[in-house]
Structure 1
Amino acid sequence: MDSYSIKTLDELKEFLYRAMQLEHATIPPYLTALYSIKPGVNQDATQVLRVIVVEEMLHLTIAANILNAIGGKPDLVRPDFVASYPAALPDGETDFKVGIQAFGREALATFLKIERPAQRPEHLVGKGLIYRKTPPDITALASHPRHEDFHFYSIGEFYSAIAEGIKYLEAEAHEAGTTIFTGDRSRQITSEYYYSGGGELFPVTDLKSALEAIDLIIEQGEGDGGGIYDDDDHELAHYYRFEELVKGRYYQKGDQPGQPTGPHLQVDWEGAYPIKENLKVGDILEGSELREAAIAFNTRYGEFLQLLTRAYNGQPSLLLEAVPMMFEFRNMILELIRNPLPKHPGKNGSPTYEIPGGIKQPAVTRQAEVNA
């Protein structure tokens, strides 16, 4: 079967919106796993998850930069933006679902699937996109009629299709004496607004910078060209950082994928609070403090998404507030995951990430922006 190709600017904008959804879809599972780890144990796992959460935010911002560059509008408050967990990833991988759960072997197995390299099982090599017979409504890409029978094997494949679409559409525009890169350059987020240990944020203004941005996302997730590191700063890719935890050994220079030979690292697989997987507010006893805490967290998380939307739509300096806010969630999340869940023996609470529907910026904020 031929690989899927993006042929219109509207389709490209849709794919880039899905890319933002995809990057965000990994943040709640990683953040919850991070804060489910009990104090004093699993320092290595804590560090890995913390770094990866920050880099997923970086990828979300890069996808917003590319969408802005082609005249799109990043919108994280659209009702369908946040996944309802457990969920298939928005790039349409259907052999697994991503859920909200405590740190442990099962969570790590899912995280490895999220970040898996674009090396598909042997029986699928050379098959382009994988035809699927499952209902189209389990992947967000199904909202486009031409997408409904396809999905991608990995995040890398998904972004490669976006890169090909950008090249195709820009070549077509070039022939007509125009460009697809017509976006307002003042909306681009650069490194002055976002510090991340791995990868630099640069403005996307043309074909070259757009392709470089996509390469950065792919390399940080799954490694460069089949290797275990990204290309820019020789940082270990997300997939292999998670694999170190599963295998209990560090990678060192010269190691091959799947064969770390560095020092041992300790993982306490029981060292996390026993949270109830994929908890919903409706599962929590009405009138309980835990339920109030879950609702308060969801409201605050909705405000975080509003803040990002404003940052990506002309107020880039607001991003300086967003990353600290993400780590301020720690106390709200701990309030949930350290407390027993009524009527569920042996299980603790958890954030539910059910964002109140239709949250928009308050009128006063919108007016303030008009006056700014």
Structure 2
Amino acid sequence: MALEHATIPPYLTAYYSIHPNTNSDAAHIIRVVAVEEMLHLTLAANVLNAIGGTPDLTRPGFVPSYPAYLPDGDDKFTVDLEPFSLHAVGKFCLIEQPRQAPSASSRLVPAPDSGGSFLASSPTIDGMRYYSIGEFYAAIIEGLEKVAAVDPRLFCGNPARQVGPEYFYSGGGAVIPVTDLDSARRALSFIADQGEGLDSGLYDEDGELAHYYRFRQLELGRYYQVGDLADSPSGPQLRVTWDDVYPVKVNARLADYPPGSELAEAARNFNADYGTFLALLTKAFNGQPSLLQDAIWYMFRLRDAFTRLVRNPLPGSDGLHAAPTFEIPTAFESDPDVARTGGETAEAVPR
């Protein structure tokens, strides 16, 4: 769940850095992918709930400190909060890149030794990471299979905590309730296939272009058509104007904002609002699935908070603009009902 969520702040930062009424095709691609990452997050929550776990998106460390490492990329790349650009899209492609390890024994490879947040590292072998996101999910499926073979009570979770398709739907697929090993396999395989196209090529089982190839369209400047090879889309041109973007500061931190300034207050308010979003998701995944639609609505309600930052220059940064920092207040980490620094609770969020 932490891995799936970690892609959302970078995608939203790139999306909201695009000037209004420009790059509509690129903005649409990023927005749809962000919504589908919410689907992946929900599927992962369903698997966790199915085996008796307790999803908690408000726990300390759930939101990574950017730059953060993800489990793919031979050159030890980091994921950053940065404006929409060819460089950012290249990072998105690295995140979603379909890569299968040469063998089962090479699924784990050394993790970069340079500090910072790192997701999807091995829980049993220090200093090792998974070869790719697809291999990470393959390892989870293999682990569930091994435990289920000796423990028939593995899937002991309360079915009432499952989020079903009636609570969340996106054009890229529906939620899969998880009650046994077969449905867990299907949910986790769907995540890997939709993101990377790992087993099904360019398209997932529903005929939707995998995330990696959607981002490749932006790099290559052309849409894919059915029958195209991976690096040779032959569809209509996809025009991008890379200059129609606010030059937001990469990986901005609260410490970058002048103390007491309106921008500092806006950045803190954004972080509090994002905490509300995570608190809503936590409630949705803990027996109140109807709140999931409210949470998705709330995610895009953050647009105004985003624009208050990205449209304004950041003093002392050589012309760079402000940006959200995604540093969630500790109040959210200790009490998921806290919604804003003024002491309101998540109950205040419209239903």
Q: What's the TM-score once normalised by structure 2's chain length?
A: 0.91
**Which of the numbers 86, 91, 97 marks the counterpart of 1:110?**
91
Distance 1:361 1:193, change over 3 A: same
Counterpart CA distance in 2 for 1:125 and 1:183 is 30
Over residues 179-216 of structure 1, what are the superposed CA-to-partner deviations in whole Å (9 max), with x where a residue is unaligned? 30000000000111112111111210001100000111
Query: What is residue 195 of structure 1 aligned with on the other side?
Result: 169
Query: What is residue 129 of structure 1 aligned with on the other side?
Result: 108
SS in 2 for 1:151: strand
SS in 1 for 2:79: coil
Is 1:88–1:94's contact at 8 Å kept on the other side of the alignment?
A: no
Query: What is residue 28 of structure 2 aligned with on the other side?
Result: 47
Query: What is residue 26 of structure 1 aligned with on the other side?
Result: 7
Is 2:66–2:117's contact at 8 Å kept on the other side of the alignment?
A: no
Query: What is residue 220 of structure 1 aligned with on the other side?
Result: 194
* Matching of residue 82 in structure 1 with residue 63 in structure 2: yes
Is 1:92–1:152's contact at 8 Å kept on the other side of the alignment?
A: no
Counterpart CA distance in 1 for 2:231 and 2:99 is 15
Is 2:279–2:337's contact at 8 Å kept on the other side of the alignment?
A: no
Distance 1:134 1:94, change over 3 A: farther
**Which of the numbers 101, 114, 126 marks the counterpart of 1:148?**
126
Counterpart CA distance in 1 for 2:318 and 2:28 is 31
Identity percentage of aligned residues = 51
Counterpart CA distance in 1 for 2:154 and 2:72 is 23
Alignment of 1:227-238 (within 5 A): 227-231=201-205, 233-238=206-211
Counterpart CA distance in 1 for 2:72 and 2:215 is 21
SS in 2 for 1:159: helix
Moved more, 148-157 or 320-329: 148-157
Counterpart CA distance in 1 for 2:180 and 2:36 is 23
Counterpart CA distance in 2 for 1:245 and 1:97 is 20
* Matching of residue 287 in structure 1 with residue 260 in structure 2: yes
Counterpart CA distance in 1 for 2:344 and 2:153 is 34
**Which of the numbers 257, 275, 282 marks the counterpart of 1:302?**
275
Counterpart CA distance in 1 for 2:48 and 2:327 is 25
SS in 2 for 1:261: coil
**Which of the numbers 134, 159, 173 marks the counterpart of 2:137?**
159
Query: What is residue 318 of structure 1 aligned with on the other side?
Result: 291
Distance 1:183 1:280, change over 3 A: same
Q: RMSD between aligned alpha carbons?
A: 2.3
SS in 1 for 2:87: helix
- Post-superposition shift, 1:56? 0.2
- Post-superposition shift, 1:149? 2.5
Is 2:3–2:120's contact at 8 Å kept on the other side of the alignment?
A: no
Is 2:72–2:95's contact at 8 Å kept on the other side of the alignment?
A: no
Instruction: Write the letter of the residue equivalent to 1:147.
Output: I
- Post-superposition shift, 1:227? 1.1
Distance 1:153 1:188, change over 3 A: same
* Matching of residue 334 in structure 1 with residue 315 in structure 2: no
Counterpart CA distance in 2 for 1:72 and 1:344 is 44
Query: What is residue 253 of structure 1 aligned with on the other side?
Result: 226
**Which of the numbers 15, 30, 42 marks the counterpart of 1:61?**
42
Instruction: Write the letter of the residue equivalent to 1:192.
Output: E
Query: What is residue 19 of structure 2 aligned with on the other side?
Result: 38
SS in 2 for 1:147: coil
- Post-superposition shift, 1:88? 0.8
Counterpart CA distance in 2 for 1:230 and 1:102 is 28
- Post-superposition shift, 1:168? 0.8
Distance 1:108 1:92, change over 3 A: closer
Over residues 57-98 of structure 1, what are the superposed CA-to-partner deviations in whole Å (9 max), with x where a residue is unaligned? 000010000000000110101111000011112789871110
Structure 2, unaligned runs of 5 or more: none
SS in 2 for 1:191: coil
- Post-superposition shift, 1:361? 3.3
Over residues 83-126 of structure 1, what are the superposed CA-to-partner deviations in whole Å (9 max), with x where a residue is unaligned? 00111127898711101000001100110010010246x8x997
Is 2:50–2:178's contact at 8 Å kept on the other side of the alignment?
A: yes
- Post-superposition shift, 1:245? 0.5
Counterpart CA distance in 2 for 1:297 and 1:136 is 27
Counterpart CA distance in 2 for 1:247 and 1:279 is 29
Query: What is residue 183 of structure 2 aligned with on the other side?
Result: 209
Counterpart CA distance in 2 for 1:40 and 1:365 is 35
Is 2:46–2:177's contact at 8 Å kept on the other side of the alignment?
A: yes
Instruction: Write the letter of the residue equivalent to 2:93.
Output: L
Over residues 307-354 of structure 1, what are the superposed CA-to-partner deviations in whole Å (9 max), with x where a residue is unaligned? 111110111111120111011011110110000111112110000000
- Post-superposition shift, 1:288? 1.0
Q: Higher helix share goes to which structure?
A: 1
Counterpart CA distance in 2 for 1:140 and 1:133 is 11
Distance 1:137 1:179, change over 3 A: farther
**Which of the numbers 200, 214, 217 marks the counterpart of 1:244?**
217
Q: What's the TM-score once normalised by structure 1's chain length?
A: 0.86
Counterpart CA distance in 1 for 2:122 and 2:204 is 33
Counterpart CA distance in 1 for 2:269 and 2:344 is 21
Moved more, 129-138 or 99-108: 129-138
